[in-house]
Structure 1
Amino acid sequence: MTVTGQEIADYVDRVRAALADLPAAVRDELTEDLPEHLTEVAAEADGSLVDRLGEPEAYAADLRAAAGAGEPSAGGRMDRRIAAAARRVRARLSGLDASLGPILGYASASEFLRLLRPAWWVLRGYLVAALVSAVFSGDVTLLPRPFFSEVTGLVLLVAAVLTSIWLGRNADRLRRWPRRLMHAGAVVLVVFGLVLVVNLDERSQRDDFGYQGVSVDDRYDSVQDVFVYDSEGRLVENARLFDQNGVPIRLGYPSCVDPAQPDAALRTGYPYCPELAPFRPRPPATAPVPPGANGGRAPTATPAPPGGSAPTVAATPTAVPGATVAPEPTDAVPVPSPTR
């Protein structure tokens, strides 16, 4: 099995942790050439560093004895106990790693995960861009949009992915604390990724009142009720709106509902609160008065305008004396004269 640069760095970290009680100058002197030495050991034969050199804590004890540094202090003993507990955890994880490997078709699960490193580098860059977008836009979106700009989001995404790939390829060169910060950042990004997936899943399943509304520039965010009027200006109650697919359109959050029954108004049509209609119904139009509807009385004379003569009232035509009025023809059958 080929020893990776990450394994060498982990071995050095454990050796330095076992020498933590020594002064920093002494510790640095003892471990100054350790990475190069471990690289040479790894190139000589197959097998892990632990198999060939022993546990890092035992190797640190040999370095301590060779330098005549003496036994570790009380604080160093505490560190060694912590290191022993960490070794037990690593041993269990190593056993789990070896047991999961055959299931994936590899000697160990870590060997399979190493093949996925490039995919993780790309995903890490995307998560960084999405996190920055969420911080500067205040919303979690599938595509990064910092400052609500798609162009800025695209530039940020490309830069984050390229930086993540470069960091992944050069992670073996990082020292202790930069590498720990990188691992801590990876944990933060994984947690953020889970939050992102949950948030997007909730949005995909969200269906307010049976219809996923489309808002243009958030114009409908403040809608509380919908009032429908016919062509005569009359309020239409219990109206229902549908789109071209027959899906009901539900807008508004009624403010007049009973607190004990908040969903009562939502089960009816529009408007939720008819008493709050913004426009009142028009008054009924006055029908024109037909001629003669005043009972045959003479029309009321219009008062004369001041400073002028009264208007002349046309005289009612009267019958002319001596005029013969021709009878109207009838359909009666003529009676024959009696025969003499």
Structure 2
Amino acid sequence: MSEKPTAVRVYLARVRTALADLPASEVEEILEDVRPHLAELEAELGEGARVEALIERLGSPESYAAELRASGGYPPAAEGATQVMTKPASPGLVKPRIALWGLVVCALGLALLAFSAAVTIHADVLLGLLVFLPVFLISLALLLRGGVEPVLSLPELVWLRGALAKGREQEDTGKVLRYLGSLKPAWWILCAITLIGFGVLLMLREKDAVLLLPFLLVAGAAIVWAGPRVRGDRRLLWVAVPVSAFVIGGALGGFGAAVDLVSNRNSYQGSTSYYPTSDRYGNDQLNYGNHEIENVYAFDAEGKPLTEVYLYDEEGRPITLTRYGCERSSGTKEKIGEDNRFPRPQIQQGVTDDEGNYNGYNGYRSSCRENAGVPFSAAIPKVTAPPPSPSSSTPTPSSTPASPTPTK
């Protein structure tokens, strides 16, 4: 009585058939490479595992063979050989597509959130994870319910695998792809380190971010565990892809934040103290603290306002501001030049009624007036001279003893 073939043997037989157009020696070499992994997977599934269980984890033998071709740099199978693999299943492709594109949307969303959080160094940005969590859960539920095979059989993924296979056929592109593939083990470790470092950085900036650190620790452990197993179980892509996208987005955001910090620091060091360049119109402006100054009034010691005052800085540069005036024809405020003479007339805009009254409610013509007066009075504190100190008092001439008058 012959021994019943195991699930691995049946699966490998179909893989061998899908690779039949390749040289027999190379087919045997490919199968020898994957046989230990399949045996390990069969042991994990338990004794008596069926071929369907392997297909659930790895996809159909034909699609698995196509991936082996692509990873080994072999040309794709002939059209007749791949017809079984590329032909979509009779059930609809709506659910597999939702599973696939839900993963893509979540990955892009996580990358953008990580980028924003790294640029602003603000953990609150990551609250956007709650927006993508339902999409991810729906995608994952459809994957677990329908299996990975319908997703891998989608036309867009078949086209992508074909494009990667053609890229590997080209010498330069193939070298790049193979080199990137060899970096996968280091990439999973780098992802875990980046996630933990990102959490520590946010925690140092905001104490509340300590609540986010356990999540990042779990994600780091998950990517180290799932990453090396993706080739054997494609369902783990729903762990590896989102975490990788998050790490890439955070790395790009951190790089952008560092460049911005360096450029701003150099710009600040090279700027003067009260020349914040220009206002929203592109004209020079003067700031005092956080307030923009449009006019300057000067008074003498008696509280009398001064006119025709010219302002300069400590290096003799004129402190010029944009000067505005009234345009008579249009009745509007217009720029008429710039200088360092103060004070400037106040520009008052309004409307004029039919009788020439300013700001009339029934008016219809724009009006502009220049008020040269000072809108306030200043109480200048009197400065009293301090009493002279003993050391600074005028010295009195020292007295000399009188000489005795001689007597006769």
> For the superposition of Structure 1 and Structure 2, which TM-score range results when normalised by the shorter chain?
0.3 to 0.5
Q: Rg bigger for which structure? A: 1
Task: Give the structure with the larger strand fraction.
Answer: 2
Task: Give the structure with the larger helix fraction.
Answer: 2
User: Normalised by the size of structure 1, how large is the TM-score?
Assistant: 0.38
